[in-house]
């Protein structure tokens, strides 16, 4: 049996500051983490738990559920709690900020449960031109906030008339309803391929952190102009910031910003969307209102939108300043200076193979292999060509492009407004006696931007902007 001292909650509670020492409890054990506070990768948020239990905080930041975190903690163990104290803590320790999460479709491949991050199986991703909302990839940084549409208000700051507060009904009835089809892609889409070069930090997304939907709502441009946006504001302001209603334990909301030009341009098509695929936004996708910034990285498409600020500055949020930026393969966590790189906005040209799947096989007797996938580029640049190879890139074939559901080819988008993805397909004859195929795809956009052939030269510590040629190996059955 252990000879460790036994403490009461009262004793632990006294150690709630750097001056008196920082004690915390975890699963009935007591830790003096004073010396660790300055080393904590998550900064001084750790002090929120000072003098009490870690459980309710770690429930919010699942990043702690890893062996290396538990190992660090174990170094600071000084004792155990008495049974009475453990009982007292029970209710707070089982508090689950994720108890009000919506039900999700069982087909989703879960990347992290709390917060919820999931992508559809790639085999069904390209079955529909418009991704059904239930399998649309979901990327949440925090618990899903449940918003009452009656009390919901959208605040707008930074316009000459002062702060505006809009109800959901006002947003829906005072501004024309505008519908666009737009693809959202997470900056971390295809991150798992970067891990094969060298480990990166982030969710291990496959190729399906991308989806396509129709979005309806008021144009941000219309709303800003209505409330007094004009040349005087434009002379000073350069950014439009968005704040979500999802908050972390410190009360900090998810936030991001986009360039003002994109927000107010007639061709920007930035929406304050209240519908997705013809229905109210689902809770996971931002109910009741989200920003849809077509052509721009997913991270700026702020969900559960609570506030818009027209400003001289970019959003101060962690996700605008210290995340979602690209770096050289030579930059590591010891040398990275987030201030030195611009926030990702428009994404580069992208494509991937959704069929056949890696490791499957095709029959030689079929004489050909059907290859399918998606392609998309940021900034409204149209996908003009997709090249497919089945011999690892030695010879190439041009795929058929599709911009609508089967039999409903949409007219080409106006130049610079290709917000939606292109699905592609091709039947490639099988070479005589091939035993294995290395299927490769690469896309070209209207600016003749192309994808890099390999991952290593674009590797970056955060694993974003992963858009190398996509490769899938399959066997050929005799
Ligand atoms: C990240 C340890 C308490 C908030 C981390 C990481 C470690 C760590 C090792 C990096 C994990 C990784 O990326 O692999 C600890 C220990 C704690 C503690 C040993 C207690 C003794 C807390 C508390 C909070 C918190 C109480 C919040 C109230 C965070 C956040 C991150 C983080 C937000 C993510 C930082 C980022 O990704 O940039 N923590 N933590 N931590 N921690 Fe803690
Ligand atoms: N908005 C809020 N309020 N909170 C979030 O966590 N995640 C962002 C963005 N908007 C996020 C958010 C990221 S990183 C992405 S990729 C997209 O939402 C994902 O949108 P989706 O879940 O509708 O696919
Ligand atoms: Mo994202």
Question: What's the whole-number mean pLDDT along residues 381-391?
Answer: 98
Q: Mind telling me the catalytic residues?
A: 40, 64, 139, 186, 324
Instruction: State which CATH number among 2.60.40.650, 3.20.20.70, 2.70.180.20, 3.30.70.1150 fits the domain covering 350-477.
Output: 2.60.40.650
Please report where in the chains the tokens 């070069």 appear, as a residue.
Answer: 197
Reported confidence tier of residue 407, pLDDT bands at 50, 70, 90: low
Q: In 3D, which of 393, 387, 384 has the Cα closest to residue 473?
A: 393
| DSSP-assigned letter for residue 265 | -
- 243 within 8 A of 261, measured Cβ to Cβ: no
Mean pLDDT, rounded, of the chain: 95
- 157 within 8 A of 209, measured Cβ to Cβ: no
6-93 and 350-477: identical CATH topology:
no
- 125 within 8 A of 211, measured Cβ to Cβ: yes
- Per the CATH hierarchy, to which homologous superfamily does domain 109-340 belong? Oxidoreductase, molybdopterin-binding domain (3.90.420.10)
| DSSP-assigned letter for residue 58 | H
CATH code for the domain defined by 6-93: 3.10.120.10
* pLDDT in the model for residue 96: 85
* pLDDT in the model for residue 94: 85
Pocket test residue of 154, 248, 298, 464 for ligand 2, highest count of atoms within 8 A of CB: 298
Q: What is the pLDDT of residues 281-329, one digit of tens each?
A: 999 999 999 999 999 999 999 999 999 999 999 999 999 999 999 999 9
Nearest CA, atom 9, ligand 2: 299
Pocket test residue of 64, 72, 250 for ligand 1, highest count of atoms within 8 A of CB: 64
In the predicted structure, residue 2 carries a pLDDT above the cut 80: no
Reported confidence tier of residue 93, pLDDT bands at 50, 70, 90: confident
- CB of 137 sitting under 6 A from ligand 2: yes
Cis upstream peptide for 115 (omega within 30°): yes
- CA–CA separation, 248 vs 23, rounded Å? 22
Left (φ > 0), alpha (ψ -120 to 50) or beta: where does 245 sit?
A: alpha
Each domain of the chain, given as residue ranges in start order, spans 6-93, 109-340, 350-477
């Amino acid at each position: 049996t252990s000879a460790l001292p036994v403490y009461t909650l009262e004793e632990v509670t006294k150690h709630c500051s750097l001056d008196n020492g920082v004690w915390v409890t975890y699963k009935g054990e007591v830790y003096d983490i004073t010396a660790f506070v300055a080393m904590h990768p998550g900064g001084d948020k750790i002090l929120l738990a000072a003098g009490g239990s870690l459980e309710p905080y770690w429930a919010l930041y699942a990043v702690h559920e890893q062996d290396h975190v538990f190992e660090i903690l174990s170094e600071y163990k000084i004792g155990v709690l008495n049974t009475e104290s453990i009982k007292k803590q029970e209710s707070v320790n089982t508090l689950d900020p994720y108890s009000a999460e919506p039900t999700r479709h069982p087909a989703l491949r879960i990347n992290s449960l709390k917060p919820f991050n999931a992508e559809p199986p790639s085999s069904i991703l390209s079955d529909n031109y418009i991704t059904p909302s239930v399998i649309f990839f979901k990327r949440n940084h925090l618990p899903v906030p449940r918003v009452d549409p009656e009390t919901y208000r959208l605040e707008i700051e930074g316009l000459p008339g002062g702060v505006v507060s809009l109800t959901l009904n006002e947003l829906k009835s005072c501004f024309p309803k505008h519908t666009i089809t737009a693809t959202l892609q997470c900056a971390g889409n295809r991150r798992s391929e970067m891990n094969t070069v060298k480990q990166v930090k982030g969710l291990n997304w496959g190729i399906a952190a991308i989806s396509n939907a129709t979005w309806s709502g008021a144009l941000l441009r219309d709303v800003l102009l209505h409330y007094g946006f004009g040349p005087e504001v434009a002379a000073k302001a350069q950014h439009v910031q968005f704040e979500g209603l999802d908050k972390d334990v410190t009360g900090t909301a998810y936030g991001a910003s986009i360039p003002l030009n994109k927000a107010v341009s007639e061709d920007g098509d930035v929406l304050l969307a209240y519908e997705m695929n013809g229905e109210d936004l689902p809770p996971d996708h931002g109910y009741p209102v989200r920003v849809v910034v077509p052509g721009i990285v997913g991270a700026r498409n702020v969900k559960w939108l609570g506030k818009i600020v027209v400003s001289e500055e970019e959003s101060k949020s962690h996700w605008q300043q210290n995340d979602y930026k690209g770096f050289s393969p030579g930059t590591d966590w010891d040398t990275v200076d987030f201030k030195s790189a611009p926030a990702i906005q428009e994404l580069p040209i992208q494509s991937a193979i959704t069929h056949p799947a890696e490791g499957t096989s095709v029959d030689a007797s079929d004489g050909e292999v059907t290859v399918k996938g998606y392609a998309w580029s940021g900034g409204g640049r149209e996908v003009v060509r997709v090249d497919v190879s089945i011999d690892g890139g030695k010879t190439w074939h041009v795929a058929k492009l599709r911009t609508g559901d089967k039999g409903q080819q949409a007219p080409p988008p106006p130049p610079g407004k290709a917000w939606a993805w292109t699905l592609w397909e091709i039947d490639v004859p099988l070479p005589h006696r091939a035993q294995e195929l290395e299927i490769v795809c690469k896309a070209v956009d209207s600016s003749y931007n192309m994808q890099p052939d390999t991952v290593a030269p674009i590797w970056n510590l955060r694993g974003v902007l992963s858009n190398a040629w996509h490769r899938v190996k399959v066997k050929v059955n005799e």
